[in-house]
Amino acid sequence: MGTGDRDPRYDPLFEPVKIGPVTAPNRFYQVPHCAGMGYRRPQMMAAMRGMKAEGGWGVVCTEYCSIHPSSDDMPYPHASLWDDSDVDKLRLMTDAVHEHGALAGVELWYGGRSTVNLYTRQPAFGPGSLPNSSKYHMPLQSRAMTLDDIKTLKGWYQAAAERALAANFDIVYVYANHEYLLHDFLSSKINSRQDGYGGSAKNRVRLIREVIEETKATVGHRCAVAVRYSIPRDVENDEDELIKMFGMIAELPDLWDITINDYSWEMGSSRFVKEASNQVAVAKIKSMTTKPVVSVGRFTSPDTMVSQINSGVQDFIGAARPSIADPFIPQKIDQGRIDDIRECIGCNVCYAHDSLGSPLRCTQNPTMGEEWRRGWHADQVPERHADETVLVIGAGPAGLEAACTLGQRGYQVTLAEAQTSLGGRVTAESRLPGFAEWARVRDWRMGQIAKLPNVDVYPDNRLNADSVLELEHQHIVVATGARWRDDGVGRWRETAFEGSHEPTVFSIERVLKGDMPKNDTSKCHVIIYDDDHYYMGAAIALKLRDENIAVTLITPEGRVGSWSYFTQEQYGSMIALLEAGVKVVTNQGLTRWNGSAATIQCVFSEVECTVAADYLIPITAKLPNDDLWLELQSKQDEFHEKGGLSMQLIGDGSTPGLIAAAVYSGHKAARELGLTAADKDKAGRDTTIVSFTP
């Protein structure tokens, strides 16, 4: 790596760092993160991790890796080291990582009361008999460990550590946070044992101490032993038990991987948590140990990264999300390609998908998760299949991504956009309170397009079918997006509500454009009816509260923004709504609007009541803007007579959904132009490894 173009300011990021018996080639450290691949999709996982190593990350770790069948997180495909077939699977990953000179780390994990063990049906061990803490709230408790069970557990750790050696890992983790078993032993609230593993802080830290010492004895001749450990945000409290216990084992491992003891903060959406938000807490820990420290902070700015190192906050730049959004950050910094860094927007769509048990994906990086299945490289695209021209209509995330990737492939591209500004929905949504970082989706693509002389951009150009045909391009990509419905049709209602044509009903687009009258906002009361269940309901409510408008948010679900639970936004949104004084009404569907009051119905009892308001904003579903597409379809003959070769509809205009899906569809359309239909639709299931441990 290295072209000599690196700004010397960033040299500290490229220093090798010793971690016990191994040496990381630089300070870029991909901490363990879930990927929805694990034991079930080992080739996919190996290729994805290998891509990060190729992009310059000096350390690349697995996701949580179960040490024993009694820690089975079905239906989530974590990694596992239960037996030798797992060793073979994980060797695919270590080989892929080593090929690029990086170190491979494995995060040995025992879930305890958080695991349901649906596949193995084994009891999960716990410090006591405690209710299952998974999101299912299973009617199930952990088994209070006897002293013999503790011995058995430690044996499982060492058997897994030996397998980690066999799989050629360089760093072996003891995973002691995120409310898994080892963390539960630390907690005075959870651990109520009366024996030598409970009671005093010294006793509660004993199990971790022993597991660290034994893991060092098992693998320490060849591997570093890292400990993942969480601390509170408020580290000034010297009485905090986690800080005190840290002091007792501060010199034991070879590396500390520090997280914050609040997942909604550690994994916070950019709406609520910004870059480098943990540094005060991490600096405190760093001052308490001589061992190297790594921590995350959604670092995407090389200046912030280098300041972490220069000011001694930490020794490594830990990253999960930034390495997902751009696996090539280290290489780009090294090559002086700072403008090319594709910055994470903090939307947590990555996390949402592995929380659903599906492979990882990313709003910014459409290649994420497709490295093996489709063979997509994160920083390279295939050259154009022919000297042909492409017209892309619409410059939202789908159209921008398509134009950018087609341009990088070398096609002559014209991008036409109806509005004066580019970005489509991303431009509109990034103006909502807290959403500024989402504009990175537009800005990165516009920055890349600006470097491509073969891409011409025409804003303020609304095309109709005749103008499209007149332009005589060989390929047409229609990316005209979608608009919010204002008739209430969604999940709870299949038909429009009575009164949906009243002039006091406003669509999201009109609210975002500022069409809603703003006479005396202090007297204005708006009802938001949210049957969408993602971020938009809460975001619009908070925007209106910023304008001093009273808001009642009504939803047929039991909680506001139920899908945003998966993106870790639900909690933050709810706090923000309550603090802003938004009135929340749950389990109620909308039936009527008479211009000044909504009739709502309990989703269980069907009992109706009315809520008076000045305006109603339904947020339920979208309608694709596919008029142009349908007209073009009807003029296919004319298109082909004029030399046209292909036409496709992408993004929200085809299937309204996540921004991530629009970017992906733009990328797929562009990357696959010129491929045969069979090549485009490879199933791509992991098949080489036939043995199956769940």
Torsion, Cα of 486, 490, 494, 500 (10° steps) = -20
122 interacts with, out of ligand ADP, ligand SF4, none, CB within 5 to 8 A per kind: none
Q: For residue 146, how far is the Cα from the chain centroid?
A: 39
3-class secondary structure, 589: strand
- For the record, the structure tokens of 434 come out as 């807290």
According to CB under 6 A, which one of 112, 318, 346, 424 is a site residue for ligand ADP?
424
Q: Show the CA angle centred on residue 630, arms to residues 629 and 635, nearest 5°.
A: 95
CA distance 198 to 93: 38
To the nearest whole angstrom, how small is the minimum distance from the Cβ of residue 629 to ligand ADP?
10
CA distance 347 to 272: 11
Q: Is 425 in the site for ligand ADP (CB under 6 A)?
A: yes
Residue number with CB closer to ligand SF4 (444 or 529): 444
Residue number with CB closer to ligand ADP (90 or 673): 673
Contact flags string 354-393 toward ligand ADP, x per CB under 6 A: ---------------------------------------x
To the nearest whole angstrom, how small is the minimum distance from the Cβ of residue 101 to ligand ADP?
38
Q: In 110-233, which ranges are E strands?
A: 125-126, 143-144, 171-175, 224-231
584 interacts with, out of ligand SF4, ligand ADP, none, CB within 5 to 8 A per kind: none
Query: Is-contact 133 179, C-beta < 8 A?
Result: yes
617 interacts with, out of ligand SF4, ligand ADP, none, CB within 5 to 8 A per kind: none
Which residues are CB-contacts of 68 (< 8 A; sequence separation ≥ 6)? 82, 110, 153, 156, 160
Residue number with CB closer to ligand ADP (114 or 364): 364
3-class secondary structure, 585: strand
To the nearest whole angstrom, how small is the minimum distance from the Cβ of residue 578 to ligand ADP?
31
Q: Is 653 in the site for ligand ADP (CB under 6 A)?
A: yes
- For the record, the structure tokens of 636 come out as 């296919």
CA distance 241 to 263: 18
To the nearest whole angstrom, how small is the minimum distance from the Cβ of residue 403 to ligand ADP?
11
Query: Is-contact 43 686, C-beta < 8 A?
Result: yes
Residue 293 β-bridge partners: 256
To the nearest whole angstrom, how small is the minimum distance from the Cβ of residue 453 to ligand ADP?
22
Residue number with CB closer to ligand ADP (275 or 652): 652
To the nearest whole angstrom, how small is the minimum distance from the Cβ of residue 513 to ligand ADP?
12
Distances (CA, A) of 306 to 4, 42, 96, 328, 428: 18, 34, 28, 17, 33
349 interacts with, out of ligand ADP, ligand SF4, none, CB within 5 to 8 A per kind: ligand SF4
425 interacts with, out of ligand SF4, ligand ADP, none, CB within 5 to 8 A per kind: ligand ADP
To the nearest whole angstrom, how small is the minimum distance from the Cβ of residue 31 to ligand SF4?
13
Residue number with CB closer to ligand SF4 (345 or 617): 345
Q: Show the CA angle centred on residue 535, arms to residues 530 and 537, nearest 5°.
A: 30
Backbone dihedral region for residue 2 (phi beyond 0: left; psi -120 to 50: alpha; all else: beta):
left
| Contact stretch for ligand ADP (CB under 6 A) within 67-75, 412-420, 435-443, 551-559 | 412-420
Q: Is 394 in the site for ligand ADP (CB under 6 A)?
A: yes
Query: Is-contact 620 454, C-beta < 8 A?
Result: no
Residue number with CB closer to ligand SF4 (184 or 343): 343
Which residues are CB-contacts of 95 (< 8 A; sequence separation ≥ 6)? 46, 168
To the nearest whole angstrom, how small is the minimum distance from the Cβ of residue 322 to ligand SF4?
7
Q: Is 662 in the site for ligand ADP (CB under 6 A)?
A: yes
Contact flags string 566-605 toward ligand ADP, x per CB under 6 A: ----------------------------------------
According to CB under 6 A, which one of 625, 658, 670, 672 is a site residue for ligand ADP?
625
CA distance 603 to 597: 19
Q: Is 419 in the site for ligand ADP (CB under 6 A)?
A: yes
Instruction: Please confirm, yes or no, whether 458 is among the known catalytic residues.
Output: no
3-class secondary structure, 93: helix
Q: Residue 660 half-sphere exposure, CB side, CA atoms within 13 Å? A: 22
CA distance 282 to 290: 13
418 interacts with, out of ligand ADP, ligand SF4, none, CB within 5 to 8 A per kind: ligand ADP
To the nearest whole angstrom, how small is the minimum distance from the Cβ of residue 272 to ligand SF4?
13
50 interacts with, out of ligand SF4, ligand ADP, none, CB within 5 to 8 A per kind: none
Q: Is 648 in the site for ligand ADP (CB under 6 A)?
A: no
13 interacts with, out of ligand ADP, ligand SF4, none, CB within 5 to 8 A per kind: none
478 interacts with, out of ligand SF4, ligand ADP, none, CB within 5 to 8 A per kind: none
To the nearest whole angstrom, how small is the minimum distance from the Cβ of residue 639 to ligand SF4?
36
105 interacts with, out of ligand SF4, ligand ADP, none, CB within 5 to 8 A per kind: none
Out of 180, 229, 571, 664, pick the active-site residue. Answer: 180
Residue number with CB closer to ligand SF4 (361 or 475): 361
CA distance 398 to 76: 30
State the number of binding residues for ligand ADP (CB under 6 A): 25
Q: What is the DSSP letter of 383?
A: P
Q: Which residues bind ligand SF4 (CB under 6 A)?
A: 321, 324-325, 344-350, 362-364
What does residue 488 show for φ and ψ, rounded to 5 degrees? 85, -5
CA distance 279 to 297: 8
What does residue 137 show for φ and ψ, rounded to 5 degrees? 50, 50
Q: Which 464-483 residues touch ligand ADP, going by CB under 6 A?
A: 479-482
Q: Is 463 in the site for ligand ADP (CB under 6 A)?
A: yes
Closest listed residue to residue 672, CA positions, set 398, 381, 456, 395: 381
3-class secondary structure, 692: coil
Residue 22 β-bridge partners: 19
Residue number with CB closer to ligand SF4 (61 or 224): 61
- For the record, the structure tokens of 215 come out as 């893991």
CA distance 556 to 593: 16
Catalytic residues, which ones? 180
Chain contacts with ligand ADP (rule: CB under 6 A): 393-399, 416-419, 424-425, 462-463, 479-482, 625, 628, 651-653, 662
